[in-house]
Chains A and B, each alone.
Chain A
Amino acid sequence: MKINVHSLAFKQSVTVLVSISIVFALLFGIGGFQINEKLSQMLLQKGEEISRANVALINNLFSSGKSFGEELAVKVGTQNLSGKELDDFLLRSLSGVRATVPQVVTVVAAFEPGKAPGKVEGDYMRLAYYSKGESSIIEGGDYQEAPWYKSTKDSLKGRWQDPFAGQFIKEQIVIYTAPIFRTGEAEQKDFVGVLCVGISIANLKDAIASIPISSSGYAVVLSADNTIIAHPKNELTFKSNFASISRSASHKRLVEFENAVDQMKHGLFLGSSVDGEDAAIYFTAMESINWKFLIVWPAKTFMEEQRSVGHMFAFISLCGYIILFIIVLLMIRRISLPLRAIAAAADKIGHGEFSAEIPVVSGDDEISQLATAFEDMRHSLCNYFETEKSLDRVKRDLDFSRGLQLGLLPKDESEENTADNRHALAPLLLPAEDIGGDFYDFFKLDDDRLAIVIADVSGKGVPATLLMMVSRIVIRTLAAHLNSVSDIFNETNYELARRNKDNLFVSMWMGILNLKTGHVDYVSAGHRPPIIHHKDCSVEFIKCKPNLAMAVMEETKYTQESLTLAPGDTLFLYTDGIIEAENMDGEPFGKFELLKVLSECCENEPTEICKFVNEHLDRYVGHARQMDDIAMLAVRYDGDRSNNG
């Protein structure tokens, strides 16, 4: 299907798609924003959940360690054990603590030089150490300058030290140091040494590393100065500082982070992980030890989830687009295909081709209504033009007939070669709109005999004209070899009647005028009687026996009559059209009016007489329509001078 960019289908589809794109974009934008929010919230929640338990655990651990340490310090200070007793005491204490806090791996007592119990001179440090299932005592020394000793001595308070790998304890530990006091003789508290309780980091590390956190998150524990205590990547611990390896982390960010931790104690921070990548970090500050418990979600993986959601969304949108596009196209096809068909059909109809059908459109909507209405219109037009065509044909036939009628009838005597000095003759034919069958005829039978005919074929149209032509021919033919008018009429009538299926008939008056004598033999077959106009302008109807019109019954016999014209007499023949011509009021002219008009006519020339009558008729009729053919034939007999001796 060719895409026409101006087509309704295309434009609508594009409009719909653009609108949908805007809606999708909005949805996407808002949705995306919402998703981000939700994810953050989710992380927050998860972070909280996971952290809480673990942090609580760690807190517990260190609280226990701390209280144990304090307790021991007091005991050592008061009991003043020395030598082997001290060793045993340390070992017993260790196993005792381990019963509840198995992470404790060492108990250490380190004394001020000379202040150790048993009056030992110099350094005295004893470590009870549990390793590989066994507890043992290790002798230690060289601790005076060790940070853990010094800081405790200076502050005279118990505290957790930063984790380190011990000199004598060959693993990473975190120790709680508590000062040992001995009450002197004067009841004063003398600082005599430091008691340490050491917790193995290893267990802690493993435990923390194995916390399952979805979305590729992992747990990290940082000490007070951001030393990594536990990290999934074991190699990082204790060696790296959180800040130092964060390549993209600026000092500012770190300060921000520190501030966040201080202020909120727990929350979500978007910064960078130790790998230098962007990450979301849920941090919890641990009260007991001033460490931080972090759950890190590297942005990449965490974003990946978001991205995959985004991808899925985009994919669904794309599918949605395509489906919508197809649906819209289909819908619009329903509109534009019929419209196109209608337009094409209308074009054809405009060129006169009514055969262009349009496909039936099912349904009840505006398009099917339009299609139905259009189809109805096409049918109507088709029929109308068919009718017009046939009407046109009828008109053409009528025009043809009229042409024949007017052409056939002789206009004057010169056409028929009948003129001579014994008579004058003039016809006048006024055909009506609807062609009729009036005719006149005049011809010489021989030198001295002139035949004159006037006739009126019933009905209108082509059949009447044809009958008129046939009648004229038959009359002429028969007149050539039959002598009397009645014979001529009998024969003619027979011929016309026997083939007259349409029941047409002809009224006719025929007379044979003897130009020598003025004698006229005539027959009237259902025709109006002619009028004689004498030289002195007197007029009268000829007496005619009203024989039946011709072509009605084959066996009709016609009775001939005769009269004699005096020189100067004019015979006026006419058809019904004159008598029945109506004026504006619908009143017919009538035969008496015709008689009157002729009596007023003092013209002698037949042409003038006809003109005279016509003018009067015109005036009478006015603007009324001429319903019937009008034919007149005026013949004036002048007599044969050669006769008058």
Chain B
Amino acid sequence: MQIAKTQQGGTLTIALDGRLDSLTSPQLESEIQGKLDGVAHLVMDLEKLAYISSAGLRVMLVAQKIMSKQGDLVLKKVGQEVREIFDVTGFSDILTIE
């Protein structure tokens, strides 16, 4: 999975390309844990995210918990299948999805 990070001031945009599952979640988690200092807005660009598993949901949860203390987390361009997973798991209610 490819992770592309762009930062503009206090806004960090992370674009995901591929699958976010138990194999690739550690990769995303390492970009989040301890690396969000000074970030007020974390934007996840999920346009190219093909699939998310419970492991991926977990990383989102971690990001949500971190950002809820220092700003906000917004998920953008969520695909239909990924959206459904968010819905079924009830994560749609706790994540900000645009």
Contacts and interface: CB of A to CB of B under 8 A. Distances in A.
Given A460-B22, A553-B94, A580-B53, A526 B89 contact: yes
B57 interface: yes
B88 A546 contact: yes
Contact of A458 (B55, B65, B92): B55
B67 to A, nearest CB: 14
B55 A548 contact: no
Contact of A503 (B21, B65, B88, B92): B65
Interface string A330-369: 0000000000000000000000000000000000000000
Interface in B58-98: 58, 61-62, 65, 87-94
A526 B88 contact: yes
Contacts of A573: none
B55 A459 contact: yes
B93 to A, nearest CB: 6
B27 interface: no
A105 interface: no
B58 A504 contact: yes
Highest count of chain B CB atoms <10 Å: which of A434, A458, A504, A547: A458
B58 A507 contact: no
A459 B22 contact: yes
Given A459-B22, A503-B62, A546 B57 contact: no
B54 interface: yes
Contacts of B87: 546
Nearest to A549: B89
B55 A546 contact: no
A48 interface: no
Nearest to B19: A586
B94 A458 contact: no
A444 B87 CA distance: 31
Contacts of B54: 456-459, 505, 507, 576
Interface in A450-470: 456-460
A552 B55 contact: no
A526 B55 contact: no
A434 B90 CA distance: 26
A548 B93 contact: yes
A346 B94 CA distance: 60
A528 B57 CA distance: 15
A525 B88 CA distance: 9
Contact of A525 (B51, B58, B90, B93): B90
Interface string A307-336: 000000000000000000000000000000
Contact of A505 (B21, B53, B58, B93): B58
A527 interface: yes
A627 to B, nearest CB: 8
B53 A546 contact: no
Interface in A194-236: none
A552 B65 CA distance: 10
A435 to B, nearest CB: 12
Interface string B24-63: 0000000000000000000000000001011101100110
Contacts of B53: 580, 628
Contact of A546 (B51, B58, B92): B92
B76 to A, nearest CB: 21
Contact of A549 (B21, B62, B65, B91): B91
Contacts of A525: 90
A505 B22 contact: no
A602 to B, nearest CB: 28
Interface string A472-511: 0000000000000000000000000000000111010000
Contacts of B58: 458-459, 503-505
A503 B94 contact: no
A503 B29 CA distance: 12
Given A503-B62, A505-B57, A548 B91 contact: yes
A552 B88 contact: no
A136 B33 CA distance: 145
Contacts of B89: 507, 526-527, 546, 548-549
Contacts of B91: 526, 548-549, 552
A627 B55 CA distance: 12
B55 A549 contact: no
Contacts of A527: 88-89
A528 B90 contact: no
Nearest to B86: A546
Given A458-B54, A503-B65, A505-B58, A549 B22 contact: no
Contacts of A549: 57, 89-91
A525 B94 CA distance: 13
Highest count of chain B CB atoms <10 Å: which of A526, A627, A628: A526
Nearest to A627: B21
B65 A526 contact: no
Contacts of B65: 503
B11 to A, nearest CB: 24
B90 A503 contact: no
B28 to A, nearest CB: 13
Nearest to B92: A546
Contacts of B90: 525-526, 546-549
Contacts of B94: 548, 552-553
A100 B90 CA distance: 153
Nearest to A582: B51
A458 B57 contact: yes
A436 to B, nearest CB: 9
Contacts of B51: 580, 588
Nearest to A547: B90
A605 B6 CA distance: 56
Interface string A543-580: 00011110011000000000000000000000010001
Interface string A520-552: 000001111100000000000000001111001
B80 to A, nearest CB: 12
11 contacts: A434-B22, A459-B22, A459-B55, A504-B58, A526-B88, A527-B89, A528-B88, A548-B91, A548-B94, A576-B54, A627-B21
Shortest 3 CB-CB contacts between residues of A and residues of B: A458-B54, A548-B90, A526-B89
Interface of A: 434, 456-460, 503-505, 507, 525-529, 546-549, 552-553, 576, 580, 588, 627-628
Given A507-B54, A525-B90, A549-B91, 7 more contacts: A460-B22, A504-B58, A526-B88, A546-B87, A546-B89, A546-B90, A576-B54
